[in-house]
A = this chain, B = another copy of it.
């Protein structure tokens, strides 16, 4: 039970020599040094395929759905009519796939800085990326998301920031300068949702993200999903707007029910309860929400 884990047969994610997760690996499928990061893909014993960037788990077949469904469906269902939507990052394709499940969406653009992530996803996670070939509403752009939103003011109903952690290439996606550009790129009534770390293991990052996001938007809440392949599982997502929405409630219950029918995680009840936090977490973030 306490036998050593060696790199043979295990992918180990080590968080600052404090906490680690190990995934039993059956095959190392892909290793690539892209212009931005190091990309690895493994077959695992029980999580299906595993994508790793710079040594950190990005997604697994087993646990992609709770992340993508909650990051996408919540803002798209709170917005009354999300026709034009954008993902910054999200090169694995899972966010656009979730967006295209909404019939109201007319155009969904992914702006990913690292094309290698998407190409690898097309090979190893084809169900996440098949929309590139099959749905003309989906657009894959390979460019700097920060520049792209600057160039497109007043364009989007919903922007989803599906970034890696606030280190490495995604560092610029967690500050008020970027969030201000996001605000400018939204149409009136627009909503942004962002990958927001975990209040269990990354408390300081959560607080900093909410401080920055809340300094730009008039209304902001924090909600969670469950991603067991991330440390602490209970993963936070920020949602913000200049419009005073009830973020905890879908705009149109029928539209939400239809999305729930194709979902493995999302239900209207889960939508509502994802905004309820344990006492200790409320103490950390409660004063920042507005």
Whether a CB of chain B sits under 8 angstroms from the CB of A266 is yes
- Please state if B22 and A19 are interface contacts (CB–CB under 8 Å): yes
Q: How distant is A75 from chain B, measured CB to nearest CB, in Å?
A: 18
> Chain A 186-216 against B: per-residue CB contact (8 Å), 1 yes, 0 no?
0000000000000011000000000000000
Q: How far is the CB of A203 from chain B (nearest CB, A)?
A: 12
Assess whether A35 is interfacial by the CB under 8 Å rule: no
The quantity of this chain's copies bound in the complex is 2
Contacts of A282 in B (CB 8 A): 267
Given A234-B233, A264-B280, A276-B270, also A10-B1 (CB < 8 A): no
Q: Bound state CA distance, A232 and B5, in angstroms?
A: 19
Q: Which residues 37-78 of A sit at the B interface, judged by CB distance below 8 A?
A: 45-47, 54-56, 65-66
Asked whether, in the complex, the Cβ of B22 is within 8 Å of the Cβ of A46, the reply is no
Contacts of A20 in B (CB 8 A): 5, 10, 20-24
CA distance A282 to B4 in the complex (A): 37
- Report A34 CB to chain B, min CB distance, Å: 16
Q: A131 in the interface, Cβ–Cβ < 8 Å?
A: no
- Report whether A7 and B18 are in contact in the complex, using a CB–CB cutoff of 8 Å: no
Binding site for B on A (CB under 8 A): 1-7, 9-14, 17-24, 45-47, 54-56, 65-66, 200-201, 226, 228, 231-234, 260, 263-267, 269-270, 272-273, 276-280, 282
